[in-house]
């Protein structure tokens, strides 16, 4: 029996604000909207749960290397963290609790992959097509993250591998590791957390290191029940810890600015840690980075170097170059028989997940608009030719020295300011000019030029490989981001009616 009514295309759902992505930034935006009394919004999410990176990354040892008291919304202090560096599962729970307790769940549409969002000049609205229904909104907030789409290196023979092969952010929990020979490709933040865990269970671990990371002591500790009682009784104790941790993080930016004494202090701390933990000079030499500290993310671990000294853990100091049946072949020509191959090879970072799917006023998508010059946004939030679009956690936001949640909250404040003004002013389409976008991009280029990101003698995921620009990064102290980008300035935004005549 056929029921023709079930085949009727559903009318698009109309909301004032559509948020794309339910990670830290999308949920933070939704929570602020609710807290300030807005009800006409939806949060669409391509996965089947909220949580972003903290939902996707479930690898053994997953944790955050930003201290937990600082790694939460300032408006939802968590007094229950188990440790100074809490496991990823706790952070995911924190976000799920936030979605539930702040009343975001009724606004959530899960399994809704945004396939295209198109600005319609006639109606002045965004038409958004997803894998779970269509939407029309006046405001579009892109909160799709920048460590979202996984990256595999272009290595011949990957499809011939007879063992299990997966990415660190798509961990295959069905693959047994006990007694297996496991290869780990990469030595970034994910690999450093995974390797010590694998070393506990695998018979052999082979680490493919293309470039050695700098590693500083982590000094993790559990919060005792009396610590937590104190936090619960007096939340200001957590706020005070946040202050200290925040300013300590910002202090570390001085080294990124290449100030010699700060650089020397950071370098000495990491190399001392290596020396303390790796007595063998030959292994130590292989684990010593050949670029300046801070050029890549500085990692924090007390268990990585000890794991690397274990007899069944082998360090291959060249890239994985080929895979053939059961063998992994390094660029230096060594061959390893493996049962499991883990790719801790990071994410597609110079192109955002949404940049080919959001089409602006001129009929171009974001990637076409930016071209090979790479991404940029005025105040890291608004793009010329894309009216009523706000980007969270996109270009010009990434940090190596402080908490990303602080950056996200700053951007949410900018958007809330824009919404207040927009409503009070007859809801005109808001857009920044090409000049504003470019001037902001040039200013970030100017600041990045004086940092270790560009001067440190390395390549990293912070840089766009097409042009060498640090398009993803905020190349300054985190507090300056709030000073400069938290406030919506209507004078910079014009109505598209004005801009259409450009
Ligand atoms: P990543 O930092 O991009 O590291 C990727 C690693 O793969 C690099 O070591 C890279 O080497 C290596 N690689 C790529 N192709 C290779 C090949 N063919 N052979 C050998 N090595 C190869 O990725 P990630 O570790 O997933 O971390 C990404 C970001 O996520 C971090 O920087 C951080 O912001 C965040 N994160 C944070 C935490 C935390 O808070 N603890 C944990 C995980 C991730 P090169 O260095 O030579 O390019």
Tens place of pLDDT per residue across the chain (502 aa) = 334 445 567 899 999 999 999 999 999 999 999 999 999 999 999 999 999 999 999 999 999 999 999 999 999 999 999 999 999 999 999 999 999 999 999 999 999 999 999 999 999 999 999 999 999 999 999 999 989 899 999 999 999 999 999 999 999 999 999 999 999 999 999 999 999 999 999 999 999 999 999 999 999 999 999 999 999 999 999 999 999 999 999 999 999 999 999 999 999 999 999 999 999 999 999 999 999 999 999 999 999 999 999 999 999 999 999 999 999 999 999 999 999 999 999 999 988 889 999 999 999 999 999 999 999 999 999 999 999 999 999 999 999 999 999 999 999 999 999 999 999 999 999 999 999 999 999 999 999 999 999 999 999 999 999 999 999 999 999 999 999 999 999 999 986 655 655 5
- Is 80 part of a structural domain of the chain? yes
- Is 281 part of a structural domain of the chain? yes
- Is 1 part of a structural domain of the chain? no
CA of 190 to the centre of ligand 1 (A): 6
- Is 106 part of a structural domain of the chain? yes
Q: How many residues does the chain have?
A: 502
Query: Residue 193 and residue 127: Cα distance in Å, rounded?
Result: 42
Ligand 1 proximity of 194 Cβ (cutoff 6 Å)? no
How far, rounded to the nearest angstrom, does the alpha carbon of residue 325 sit from its chain's CA centroid?
A: 34
Instruction: Give yes or no: residues 435 and 296 share one domain.
Output: no
CA dihedral 376, 380, 385, 387 (to 10 degrees): 160
Instruction: Give yes or no: residues 80 and 164 share one domain.
Output: no
Residue nearest to atom 2 of ligand 1 (CA): 188
Query: Residue 193 and residue 51: Cα distance in Å, rounded?
Result: 20
- Is 3 part of a structural domain of the chain? no
Phi then psi for residue 397, to 5 deg, are -125, -20
Ligand 1 proximity of 15 Cβ (cutoff 6 Å)? no
Instruction: Give yes or no: residues 40 and 163 share one domain.
Output: no
Phi then psi for residue 350, to 5 deg, are -90, -5
Q: What atom of ligand 1 comes closest to residue 343's alpha carbon?
A: 7
Q: 191 by DSSP, 3-state: which?
A: helix
- Tell which of 303, 318, 343 closes a domain: 343
Instruction: Give yes or no: residues 17 and 140 share one domain.
Output: yes
- Tell which of 343, 378, 410 closes a domain: 343
Instruction: Give yes or no: residues 315 and 390 share one domain.
Output: no
Say what the pTM is. 0.95
Instruction: Give yes or no: residues 449 and 315 share one domain.
Output: no
Split into its structural domains, the chain has a count of: 2
Instruction: Give yes or no: residues 304 and 237 share one domain.
Output: yes
Instruction: Give yes or no: residues 388 and 315 share one domain.
Output: no
Tokens of 328: 């992994």
Q: What atom of ligand 1 comes closest to residue 299's alpha carbon?
A: 41
Ligand 1 proximity of 65 Cβ (cutoff 6 Å)? yes
Instruction: Give yes or no: residues 247 and 389 share one domain.
Output: no
Q: Residue 304: give its domain's CATH number.
A: 3.50.50.60
- Is 6 part of a structural domain of the chain? no
Instruction: Give yes or no: residues 164 and 118 share one domain.
Output: no
Tokens of 451: 């940092």
Ligand 1 proximity of 153 Cβ (cutoff 6 Å)? yes
Residues near 285 by beta carbon (within 8 Å), at least 6 away in sequence: none
Instruction: Give yes or no: residues 172 and 219 share one domain.
Output: yes
Tokens of 286: 């292989």
CA of 65 to the centre of ligand 1 (A): 14
- Is 2 part of a structural domain of the chain? no
- Is 5 part of a structural domain of the chain? no
- Tell which of 312, 343, 374 closes a domain: 343
Instruction: Give yes or no: residues 286 and 265 share one domain.
Output: yes
Bridge partners (DSSP) of residue 493 are 432
Domain that holds residue 465: 11-149+348-501
Q: What atom of ligand 1 comes closest to residue 191's alpha carbon?
A: 25
Residue nearest to atom 10 of ligand 1 (CA): 186
């Amino acid at each position: 029996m056929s029921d023709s009514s079930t085949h009727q295309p559903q009318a698009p759902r109309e909301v004032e604000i559509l948020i794309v992505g339910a990670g830290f930034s999308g949920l933070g935006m939704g929570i602020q909207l609710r807290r300030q009394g807005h009800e006409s919004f939806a949060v669409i999410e391509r996965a089947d749960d909220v949580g972003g990176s903290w939902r996707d990354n479930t690898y053994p040892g997953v944790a955050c290397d930003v201290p937990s008291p600082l790694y939460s919304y300032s408006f939802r202090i968590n007094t229950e963290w188990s440790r100074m560096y809490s496991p990823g599962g706790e952070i995911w729970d924190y976000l799920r609790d936030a979605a539930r307790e702040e009343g975001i769940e009724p606004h959530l549409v899960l399994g809704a992959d945004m396939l295209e969002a198109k600005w319609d000049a006639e109606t002045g609205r965004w038409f958004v097509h997803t894998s779970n229904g269509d939407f029309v909104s006046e405001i579009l907030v892109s909160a799709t993250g920048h460590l979202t789409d996984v990256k595999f290196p272009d290595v011949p023979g990957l499809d011939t591998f007879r063992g299990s092969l997966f990415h660190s952010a798509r961990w295959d929990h069905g693959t047994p590791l006990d007694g297996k020979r496991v290869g780990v490709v990469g030595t970034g933040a994910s690999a450093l957390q995974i390797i010590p865990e694998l070393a506990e269970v695998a018979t052999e671990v082979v680490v493919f290191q293309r470039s050695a990371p700098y590693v500083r002591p982590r000094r993790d500790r559990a919060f005792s029940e009396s610590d937590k009682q104190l936090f619960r009784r007096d939340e200001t104790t957590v706020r005070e810890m946040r202050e200290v941790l925040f300013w300590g993080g910002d202090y570390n930016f001085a080294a990124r600015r290449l100030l010699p004494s700060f650089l020397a202090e950071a370098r000495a701390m990491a190399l001392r840690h290596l020396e303390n933990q790796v007595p063998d000079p030959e292994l130590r030499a292989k684990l010593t980075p050949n670029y300046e500290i801070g050029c890549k993310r500085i990692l924090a671990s007390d268990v990585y170097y000890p794991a690397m000294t274990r007899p069944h853990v082998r360090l291959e100091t060249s890239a994985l170059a080929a895979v053939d049946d059961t063998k992994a072949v390094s660029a230096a020509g060594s061959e390893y028989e493996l049962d499991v191959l883990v790719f801790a090879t990071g994410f597609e970072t110079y192109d955002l997940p949404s940049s080919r799917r959001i089409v602006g006023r001129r009929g171009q998508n974001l990637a076409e608009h930016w071209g090979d010059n790479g991404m940029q946004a005025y105040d890291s939030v608004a793009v010329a030719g894309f009216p009523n679009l706000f980007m969270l956690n996109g270009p010009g936001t990434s940090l190596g020295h402080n908490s990303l949640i602080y950056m996200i909250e700053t951007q949410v404040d900018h958007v809330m300011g824009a919404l207040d003004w927009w409503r009070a002013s007859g809801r005109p389409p808001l857009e920044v000019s090409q000049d504003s976008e470019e001037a902001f991009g040039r200013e970030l280029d100017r600041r990045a030029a004086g940092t270790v990101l560009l001067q440190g003698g390395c390549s990293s995921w912070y840089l766009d490989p097409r042009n060498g620009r640090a398009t993803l990064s905020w190349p300054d102290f985190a507090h300056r981001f709030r000073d400069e980008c938290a406030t919506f300035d209507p004078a910079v935004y014009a109505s598209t009616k004005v801009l259409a005549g450009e």
